[in-house]
A and B are shown apart, each in its own frame.
Chain A
Amino acid sequence: MTWILSWTVSLLAFIKAQIVILLLRVLSAGPIPRHVAFEMDGNRRFARLTGRRAVDGHSDGFHTLKRVLEMCMRLDIRCVTVYAFAIENFNRPPDEVGALMKLAEERLVEIAQNGALLSRYGVRLNVLGHRELLPMHVQVAIDKAEGMTRQNNRAILNVCAPYASRHEMTSAVQSVVQQALDKENFDSSLITEQTIEENLMTSLGGSPPLDIFIRTSGVKRLSGFLQWQCCENTQIHMVDTYWPDFGLWDFVPILLDYQRKVWARSSS
């Protein structure tokens, strides 16, 4: 009897997977955003709901990241940016920070390896942020993971860690000014919004303008994530679902909203 049950469960899982693939194919018949950002919030609260530690929530969150990334790749979304770790997150308890560093060190290399998710879909990994704040072993792992995917050119995954938008904007301004100084070109009129935008970390990694910004867990703030990129011409969605629970049910309405916007714009 048990083999019938397990066979039924496998069949149902297969059917569900095929329905998801079909749904994604239907969605990709319409306009698809070029760049989607996810603020993956709610891992710890999700874990607490089930009586587990915060670290377990982060692990669940990573599995959701892989699932959502695969969805985005099937939809042909060319750039995905995720907020993995804020500079302010170093204020968290040391054991949680240590666990997050270990997660980053292991998982980034895992998904960048040959045959894994990033190589399967031709995704280039960029880790954006104030990298010098990370422990040396994590920096080494990041360099390794980025190196494994450097030749991939079909899509981009930006992992922001440790990141703060003000730091990014400050770095862009400093970079623009330093470039002018290095060239001994003191004509400041050449510095425009566009030149600063081109020197943002996301732009330097080849990311297109941000179309959709999604924050999970019901919080209605940006919390220092992509402030320059999302303050204009970006649809912002604050969903109540915790990140580990985020899935197609939450993502499809967001994509439909985007498609309606594109159609409305093209008809006006």
Chain B
Amino acid sequence: MVAPLFLWLLHLLHASLVFLTVRFQKRRYLPPQPVTAYRSKLPKHLAIILVSYDAANPKHTEELYLECLVRVIKWCRALGIEQLTAYDAEGTLLGCSDLIRERLIHHGDPPTDESESELEYPLTPPLSEASESRSHSPDFEDFSVQLNVTTVCSFRKGSSHHRPRKVAVRRRAHHKRSSYNPLTLHIISRSASKAAIASAARFLLDEEFRRRQNSHDLDHVHSVLNFTHLTSVPGGLPSPDFMIVHHVHPQDPHPPLELHGFPPWQIALTEIHRTIAHDIAPLKHPNKSIPNLITEEAFCRALDEYAGAQFRLGR
């Protein structure tokens, strides 16, 4: 009886300390650098995880997700970030990919004399990463591996494309803001996560069964069980350099970071950031019932953090 009482007191003390810390941080709030500020490195592939705990209003959640995504796309194109992955566990974004297309056109570049912007939905998903050459390639035409990645490429005909950038590249301090940069958008849900790895495993077994039926050779199984190659095939999701986790509904206190089922294979070296309350709901809008759309401040703070991250890669 005594221990639970002391535990309750401990929680009260902790909650009070957290409250005071947050208030103190709000008073010492320093805005991040603007979008176009110089940063020592930018992610080549950014992922955004959108989280909502409001299951009762799916339509409202869909609108919030769409608005957040459109904003992030705009900033990515301005910065020249080449790939963006948008994830939500329930598949809300996947379910409204047509709406995403319409929003992209609506918020896209105004028509110019040179050309019109064009959105392409390729018939088959584009190559996501260069595949390693391998001596025993599975025949993907006969069996489907359900990687469940929807990819949208946007490019502008006739525009000068920026040359591909690596992660750690110095950029000029005042680059010209441009919304014309090409962007590849991957839209995924939990179906692209562990389920995709299970699908790849099923494919391996089917492939081995087919091979044994054709050749009756039971000795050489090693060539098929080269699972790692499957994640670099067409339609696979490349690994993001940086991931932003954003909650569209405020919670007080902020819950600990979770990854909400994001594909596990791809996140070995992904830098992870969660948007913070100060950047989403500044002091002048303390109304906690207003949903949290991702703001430019939150996006910039995330980029500032990424620019400061160090990568030792095991050394």
Same complex for A and B? Answer yes
Report which A residues bind B (CB closer than 8 A).
Answer: 23, 25-30, 86-92, 164-166, 169-170, 173-174, 176-178, 180-181, 186, 188-189, 191-193, 195-197, 219-224, 227-228, 230-238, 252-254, 256-261
Min distance, Cβ A83 to any Cβ of chain B, angstroms: 12
Beyond known contacts A181-B221, A188-B202, A221-B270: 7 more, CB 8 A cutoff: A88-B313, A173-B204, A188-B201, A222-B267, A223-B314, A253-B14, A258-B256
In the assembled complex, B153 has its CB within 8 A of some CB on chain A: no
Which among B205, B257, B268, B315 is the interface contact of A227 at CB below 8 angstroms?
B268
Q: Chain A contacts of B265 at CB under 8 A?
A: 166, 169, 227
Min distance, Cβ B72 to any Cβ of chain A, angstroms: 19
16 intermolecular pairs with C-beta atoms under 8 Å apart: A23-B10, A28-B3, A88-B314, A90-B314, A165-B268, A173-B227, A177-B201, A177-B225, A181-B205, A193-B197, A193-B198, A196-B201, A220-B273, A234-B258, A236-B272, A258-B256
Q: Chain B contacts of A233 at CB under 8 A?
A: 258
In the assembled complex, B173 has its CB within 8 A of some CB on chain A: no
In the assembled complex, B250 has its CB within 8 A of some CB on chain A: no
Min distance, Cβ A38 to any Cβ of chain B, angstroms: 15
* CB–CB A223/B268 < 8 A: yes
Which among A164, A220, A228 is the interface contact of B272 at CB below 8 angstroms?
A220
A90 vs B314: C-alpha distance when bound (angstroms): 8
Which among A87, A170, A220 is the interface contact of B271 at CB below 8 angstroms?
A220
A30 vs B195: C-alpha distance when bound (angstroms): 34
* CB–CB A231/B193 < 8 A: yes
Q: Chain A contacts of B201 at CB under 8 A?
A: 173, 176-177, 188, 191, 196
Q: Chain B contacts of A186 at CB under 8 A?
A: 205-206, 209
Given A86-B314, A220-B272, A234-B258; A173-B267 close (CB under 8 Å):
no
* CB–CB B202/A232 < 8 A: no
A231 vs B261: C-alpha distance when bound (angstroms): 5
A178 vs B205: C-alpha distance when bound (angstroms): 8
* CB–CB A235/B256 < 8 A: yes
* CB–CB B264/A227 < 8 A: yes
A193 vs B198: C-alpha distance when bound (angstroms): 5
* CB–CB A235/B257 < 8 A: yes
Give the secondary structure class of A's interface.
Answer: helix
A221 vs B270: C-alpha distance when bound (angstroms): 6
Report which B residues bind A (CB closer than 8 A).
Answer: 3-4, 6-7, 10-11, 14, 193-195, 197-198, 200-206, 208-209, 221, 225, 227-228, 255-265, 267-273, 305, 309-310, 313-315
Min distance, Cβ A177 to any Cβ of chain B, angstroms: 5
A232 vs B259: C-alpha distance when bound (angstroms): 6
Q: Chain B contacts of A29 at CB under 8 A?
A: 3-4, 6-7
Q: Chain A contacts of B261 at CB under 8 A?
A: 231-232
* CB–CB A191/B256 < 8 A: no
Min distance, Cβ B128 to any Cβ of chain A, angstroms: 16
* CB–CB B256/A236 < 8 A: yes
Q: Chain B contacts of A235 at CB under 8 A?
A: 256-258
Which among A89, A191, A257, A259 is the interface contact of B202 at CB below 8 angstroms?
A191
* CB–CB A193/B260 < 8 A: no
Given A181-B205, A222-B268, A235-B256; A170-B227 close (CB under 8 Å):
yes
* CB–CB A256/B269 < 8 A: no
Q: Chain B contacts of A232 at CB under 8 A?
A: 193-194, 258-261
Q: Chain A contacts of B257 at CB under 8 A?
A: 235-238
Chain A: CB-nearest residue to B4: A29
Q: Chain A contacts of B193 at CB under 8 A?
A: 231-232
Min distance, Cβ A160 to any Cβ of chain B, angstroms: 14
* CB–CB B194/A228 < 8 A: yes
A257 vs B254: C-alpha distance when bound (angstroms): 10
Given A180-B205, A231-B261; A91-B315 close (CB under 8 Å):
yes
Q: Chain A contacts of B313 at CB under 8 A?
A: 88, 91
* CB–CB A227/B267 < 8 A: yes
Chain A: CB-nearest residue to B221: A181
* CB–CB B258/A188 < 8 A: no
Min distance, Cβ A188 to any Cβ of chain B, angstroms: 4
A253 vs B13: C-alpha distance when bound (angstroms): 11
Given A224-B269, A228-B194, A236-B256; A259-B11 close (CB under 8 Å):
yes
* CB–CB A261/B204 < 8 A: no
Chain B: CB-nearest residue to A253: B14
Which among A27, A87, A177, A237 is the interface contact of B256 at CB below 8 angstroms?
A237
3 smallest CB-CB distances across A and B, nearest first, come from A88-B314, A29-B3, A188-B202
Min distance, Cβ B176 to any Cβ of chain A, angstroms: 31
A236 vs B270: C-alpha distance when bound (angstroms): 14
Q: Chain A contacts of B197 at CB under 8 A?
A: 169, 173, 193, 196
Q: Chain A contacts of B4 at CB under 8 A?
A: 29-30
Given A174-B225, A174-B227; A256-B204 close (CB under 8 Å):
no
Given A88-B314, A230-B259, A253-B14; A221-B271 close (CB under 8 Å):
yes
* CB–CB A30/B7 < 8 A: yes
A224 vs B200: C-alpha distance when bound (angstroms): 20
* CB–CB A91/B258 < 8 A: no
Chain B: CB-nearest residue to A236: B257
Q: Chain B contacts of A180 at CB under 8 A?
A: 205
A25 vs B4: C-alpha distance when bound (angstroms): 10
